[in-house]
């Protein structure tokens, strides 16, 4: 069977790592950015797998969670599979450099990776759904949740993995509302 043939056994796995930007100026008090090396890496950003389980290590002190698709908070995402999450030790600590820093892998069935444009749409659905669900369960009045996503292909990183059709590398920012901790606007990079 061709490596690109559609099969229920083909699973796409990709890591999405987000880190909170505390302030427009990283040098401002509380504006320390998490270094990329602080994020757990599952290996290739996107790789074709043959199992629904993705073996991914957990850094010391990081918390894990696995959620099956469809996601309760974003049921319109059209995927089947699993979301594996890794939360930094500082995830819920707004005064710490790794505040709201986490990485997640979507191990989803399919025959090709989503485009950068589709991933941007998916991230809006994901974060709107997540923050609305938490705001409702926490009874947060007047929460304005309208996530903005700006992703673009990372051409420099793409050149490093040239020829791998399963690799989709993008960079960008997500602006949303933090229904979990600060109850304020949140920028994720």
Local confidence band at 58 (pLDDT 50, 70, 90 cut-offs): confident
pLDDT of residue 6: 37
187 or 23: which carries more pLDDT confidence? 187
Structure tokens at 127: 């974060």
User: Residue 102 above 70 pLDDT?
Assistant: yes
Report whether 52 contacts 131 (CB < 8 A): no
Torsion of CA 133, 45, 169, 185, to 10 degrees: 30
pLDDT cut 90: percent of the chain above it: 30
Query: How far is it, in rounded angstroms, from Cα 31 to Cα 97?
Result: 8
Residue entry with tokens 């705001």: 135
Q: How does pLDDT run across 61-86, given as a tens digit for each residue?
A: 999 998 899 999 999 999 888 888 88
Global pTM value: 0.76
47 or 107: which carries more pLDDT confidence? 107
């Amino acid at each position: 069977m061709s490596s690109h043939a559609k099969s229920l056994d083909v699973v796409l796995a990709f890591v999405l790592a987000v880190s909170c930007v505390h302030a427009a100026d990283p040098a401002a008090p509380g504006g320390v950015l998490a270094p990329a090396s602080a994020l757990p890496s599952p290996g290739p950003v996107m790789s074709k797998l043959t199992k629904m389980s993705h073996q991914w290590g957990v850094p010391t002190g990081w918390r894990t969670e696995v959620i099956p698709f469809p996601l309760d908070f974003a049921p319109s995402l059209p995927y089947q599979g699993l979301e594996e999450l890794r939360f930094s030790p500082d995830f819920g600590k707004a005064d710490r450099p790794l505040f709201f820093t986490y990485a997640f892998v979507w191990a989803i069935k399919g025959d090709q990776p989503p485009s950068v444009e589709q991933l941007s749409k998916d991230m809006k659905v994901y974060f709107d759904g997540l923050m609305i669900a938490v705001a409702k369960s926490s009874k947060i009045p007047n929460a304005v949740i309208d996530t903005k996503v700006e992703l673009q292909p990372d051409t420099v990183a793409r050149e490093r993995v040239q020829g791998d059709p399963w690799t989709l590398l993008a960079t960008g920012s997500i602006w949303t509302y933090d229904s979990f901790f600060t109850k304020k606007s949140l920028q994720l990079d």
